[in-house]
């Protein structure tokens, strides 16, 4: 692998006590091209613009996928990834569905490891902070025919992330738009899934909500996800979440929360959960908590649910008593090497 080092690091300009998500990109990036059926010439170079033809298929037909993962430090400065093999496998399952070339494990692992070793000082030391890693794959073939590209670019970029203090969310149950359909690409991390969610999300925001609670595209009566998070309902001592079918994104945070909850003796139900059942339980004040989860936020709880112009409020309990906080802390403790990792999720870099 060729390494081009930056001449002046930007790290001294960063106040690690004041980072929000995605406002500081690390010094370097990983870049690799796919041509003539092969990935070739992987390189690490200073973070910066790339040049592609305006004909690149990514701009016209949207062949673009990505992953989101994080690197953490423990208090001794050791660096860990969290379940990176899961991201690798999901990247390739997205690639397969969008008719893009697969990435080899060695390319993914070596690129990531090398980049993290070069930009190690960008990984924050503080609990709850991390370096967010964004691997992505785009079609770069310069021709306008509506066929899968023959050329691609695979890159990895990194940005500082903090998620410890989050405001509770106001969420609207969507009755018109959908992010995902049967046979579609809902289970992939395709860029287009995000593009199509921006308009309905903006409408929800104009109505006073932060996010959408997505429902199934054919009947809008079953709950799927919220925004770009998987979603959990804590009702009568059961943790309920939609099954990881082809319409929801099979979140690594979701999977991990289910495993931790079960180990802690919390009952978890992965089942179709209807809007009417949710509203019934909200009316009866039986819903203790609702929360979304994903790599970026880890866990973020909801305070208000909107449905057909009515709002339902969730109980205002202290964070210390929240099951969502308990699960979040457990997960962060594993990620930051504060507690044992009984599941083998930490991956030392």
Ligand X SMILES: *Cc1c(COP(=O)(O)O)cnc(C)c1O
Tell which positions 174-193 bind ligand X, by CB under 6 A: 189
Q: Which residues on neighbouring strands pair with residue 211, listed in sequence order?
A: 171
Residue 79 in contact with ligand X, rule: CB under 6 A? no
Residue 163 in contact with ligand X, rule: CB under 6 A? no
Among 92, 230, 281, 330, binds ligand X (CB under 6 A): 230
Q: Closest approach of Cβ 194 to ligand X, in Å?
A: 7
Active-site residue 189, yes or no?
Answer: yes
In the set 189, 288, 328, 329, the catalytic residue is 189
Among 63, 65, 68, 79, binds ligand X (CB under 6 A): 68
Q: Closest approach of Cβ 241 to ligand X, in Å?
A: 11
Residues 6+ apart with CB under 8 A from 88: 103, 105, 108, 109
DSSP per-residue letters across 306-349: EETTEEEE-----GGG-HHHHHHHHHHHHHTTSS--TT--EEE-
CA pair distance 188, 295, nearest whole angstrom: 15
Query: By C-beta, is 57 or 299 nearer to ligand X?
Result: 299
| 250 and 242 Cβ atoms separated by less than 8 Å | no
Residue 138 in contact with ligand X, rule: CB under 6 A? no
Residue 295 in contact with ligand X, rule: CB under 6 A? yes
| 273 and 222 Cβ atoms separated by less than 8 Å | yes
Residue 26 in contact with ligand X, rule: CB under 6 A? no
Query: By C-beta, is 44 or 191 nearer to ligand X?
Result: 191
Residue 64 in contact with ligand X, rule: CB under 6 A? no
Query: By C-beta, is 26 or 253 nearer to ligand X?
Result: 253
CA pair distance 125, 76, nearest whole angstrom: 9
Among 229, 235, 282, 290, binds ligand X (CB under 6 A): 229
Residue 101 in contact with ligand X, rule: CB under 6 A? no
CA pair distance 128, 336, nearest whole angstrom: 8
Residue 231 in contact with ligand X, rule: CB under 6 A? no
Among 163, 215, 228, 324, binds ligand X (CB under 6 A): 228
Which helix (H) or strand (E) element contains residue 255?
A: helix 252-263
Q: Which residues on neighbouring strands pair with residue 89, listed in sequence order?
A: none
CA pair distance 211, 305, nearest whole angstrom: 10
Residue 253 in contact with ligand X, rule: CB under 6 A? yes
DSSP per-residue letters across 135-199: EEEEE--B--SSS--S-EEEEEEEEEEE-SS-PPEEEEE-SS--S--TTSSTTS-BHHHHHHHHH
Task: Choose one: 12-20, 125-133, 249-257, 301-309; the region binding ligand X (CB under 6 A).
Answer: 249-257
Name the site residues for ligand X (rule: CB under 6 A).
68, 189, 225, 228-230, 249, 251-254, 294-295
Which positions are annotated as active-site residues?
189
């Amino acid at each position: 692998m060729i390494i081009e080092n930056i001449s002046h690091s930007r790290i001294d300009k960063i106040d690690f006590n004041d980072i929000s998500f995605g406002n500081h990109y690390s010094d370097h990036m990983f870049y690799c091209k796919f041509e003539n059926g092969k990935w070739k010439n992987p390189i690490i170079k200073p973070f910066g613009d790339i040049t592609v033809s305006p004909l690149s298929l990514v701009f016209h037909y949207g062949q673009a996928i990505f992953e989101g993962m994080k690197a953490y430090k423990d208090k001794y400065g050791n660096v860990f990834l969290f379940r990176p093999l899961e991201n690798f496998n999901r990247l390739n399952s997205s690639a397969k569905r969008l008719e893009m070339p697969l990435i080899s494990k060695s390319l993914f692992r070596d690129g990531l490891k090398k980049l993290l070793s070069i930009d190690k000082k960008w990984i924050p030391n503080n609990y709850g902070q991390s370096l967010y890693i964004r691997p992505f794959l785009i079609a770069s073939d310069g021709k306008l025919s509506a066929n899968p590209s023959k050329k691609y670019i695979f890159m990895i970029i990194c940005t500082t992330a903090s998620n410890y203090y989050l405001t509770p969310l106001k969420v609207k149950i969507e009755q018109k738009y959908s992010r995902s359909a049967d046979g579609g690409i809902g289970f992939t991390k395709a860029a287009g899934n995000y593009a199509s969610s921006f308009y309905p999300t903006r409408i929800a925001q104009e109505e006073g909500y932060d996010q959408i609670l997505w429902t199934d595209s054919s009947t809008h009566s079953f709950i799927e996800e919220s925004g770009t998070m998987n979603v959990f309902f804590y009702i009568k001592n059961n943790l309920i979440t939609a099954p990881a079918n082809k319409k929801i994104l099979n979140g690594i945070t979701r999977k991990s929360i289910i495993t931790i909850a079960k180990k802690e003796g919390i009952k978890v139900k992965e089942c179709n959960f209807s809007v009417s059942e949710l509203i019934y339980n909200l009316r009866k004040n039986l819903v203790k908590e609702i929360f979304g989860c994903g790599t970026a936020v880890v866990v973020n709880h909801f305070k208000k649910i909107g449905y057909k112009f009515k709002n339902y409020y969730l109980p205002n309990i202290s964070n210390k008593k929240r099951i969502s906080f308990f699960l979040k802390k457990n997960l962060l403790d594993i990620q930051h090497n504060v507690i044992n990792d009984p599941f083998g999720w930490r991956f030392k870099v």
